[in-house]
A and B are shown apart, each in its own frame.
Chain A
Amino acid sequence: MSSKAAFSAMVAVVVGATLMIAGPSFAASTPTPAPSRSAAAPRPTAAPAPVPAESRRATQAKPVRARPHFTG
C-alpha cells in the first residue's frame, strides 16, 4: 500500500471514529415533530358533580352491643 493510500485509510478511520463518538448526540439533537394541538390539548371531561364543602373524614364505626338479626 502506498503512503497516499495509507494516509487515506487513516483519514477514513479518524472520520469514522469521530462520527461514532458524535453520532448519538447528533441523533439526540435531531428535532422531533411537535405534538399536534389536538394531542397536546387536555381532553374535555364531564363537569364534576357539586360536592358540599362541609365534609370531614369519617371516623371508624362505634359498635352497638346487641343481638344481630342478619340472615347469617
Chain B
Amino acid sequence: MVRRRAHVGALIAAAAIALVATGCGSPESGTGATDTSIPLSQKDSQPEVQAKSGSGQGLSTAEPGSSLVATARGSQVTIRTAPGAGARSSLKNPTAIGAPLTFLVLESRPGWLKVQLPMRPNGSSGWVAQADVTLSTTPYRLVISMSKHRLDVIYEGRRIARHDVGVGKVATPTPKGTYYLTELIEPPDPNGAYGPYAFGLSAFSNTLKTFAGGPGQLGLHGTDAPHGLGKDISHGCIRVANTVITQLAGELPLGTPVDIQA
C-alpha cells in the first residue's frame, strides 16, 4: 500500500511538471504578456494627417501625402463651369502683385482639371484646360488649429514641425476651410507688421470686404508683435514668429494646401 502511494505521488508530480512546462510555452500566455507600447521615437513618426481626395481637400497624387498643383502657362487662364463648357471668367497670369497664377487641383478628368480658385466666395472652384497649366506636386501641407493656436507643418503625411500662431479675433474671425498658398511677398520693411515674409492665401475675410486697399485677402505672415502669438488677435490673418515665416518661405511651394480648423 505504501509502495502504491509513493508510485501514484511520483506520477502526479510528473504530470504537474509537464503541465507547468507546456503552459509556459503556450502562445496565449505569451500574448497576454506582450508589451504593446510604442517607443516615443515611433510615436513621433506616426502619420498625423492623411491627404484626402475630393471636394476642397486637394487631389491625392501617386506620392503619399502630396497634393497636385497647377501653374498657369500663358498670360491668362480661362475658367469654366464644367469640362469643355463655355468660359465663365478668366484670370490673369502673373497676378496683380506679380506672382505666378497658381491653383490647388481638386479633381482630374482627361484634359481637364477642377481647381480651387483664389477668389470669393471662399472655396470657389472651376475647371481649367490641362493644356493651360503645368502640373507639379507639393509634399507639404499646413494644418492650423485656431482653438489651440497651433500650426503643424506636414511633410508627406507626417508632422515635421509645430509652431504657435495668432489668429483672427472674435469680430474678425479667420474662416475655417481648406485653402492654399497663392503668393509669397517680401515686404519692404522686414521689421514691419507683416514681418520679413507674407504668404497670401486663397481665403478671404467674411467680415472685412476690403482692408488697407486690398480685397480682404488672408495671409500667413510674420509679426512685429510676437506677444500676440497664441491669441485671437488679428483681423483674420495667421501670424507666426518671424523666424518661423522665414523658414517656411525657404521651403513651401505655392499651391501648398492650408487646412484651417476650429
Contacts and interface: CB of A to CB of B under 8 A. Distances in A.
Contact of B53 (A20, A23, A32, A49): A49
B137 A58 contact: yes
B258 interface: no
Interface stretch (B81-89, B141-149, B194-202): B194-202
Given A13-B14, A63-B186, A58 B138 contact: yes
Interface string B205-219: 100100111111111
Contacts of A1: 6
A66 interface: yes
Interface residues of A, number: 48
Contacts of B109: 50
A65 B6 contact: no
Interface residues of B, number: 79
B130 interface: yes
Contact of A16 (B14, B136, B255): B14
Contact of A50 (B108, B168, B193): B108
Nearest to B134: A54
Contact of A20 (B21, B60, B197): B21
Contact of A52 (B6, B108, B172, B217): B108
B39 interface: no
A44 to B, nearest CB: 17
A70 B217 contact: yes
Contacts of B122: none
A58 B27 contact: no
B6 A8 contact: yes
Contact of A8 (B7, B27, B107): B7
A70 B53 contact: no
Interface in B231-259: 234-237, 249-255
Contacts of B253: 58-61
Contact of A49 (B20, B22, B60): B60
Nearest to B250: A60
B110 A71 contact: no
Interface string B1-25: 0010011011101101110111111
Contact of A55 (B20, B26, B136, B254): B136
Given A1-B6, A19-B22, A72 B237 contact: yes
Interface of A: 1-2, 4-5, 8-9, 11-13, 15-17, 19-28, 30, 32, 48-52, 54-72
> Which 8 residue pairs across A and B have the least CB separation, nearest first?
A69-B214, A24-B25, A16-B17, A70-B219, A20-B21, A58-B253, A12-B14, A5-B6
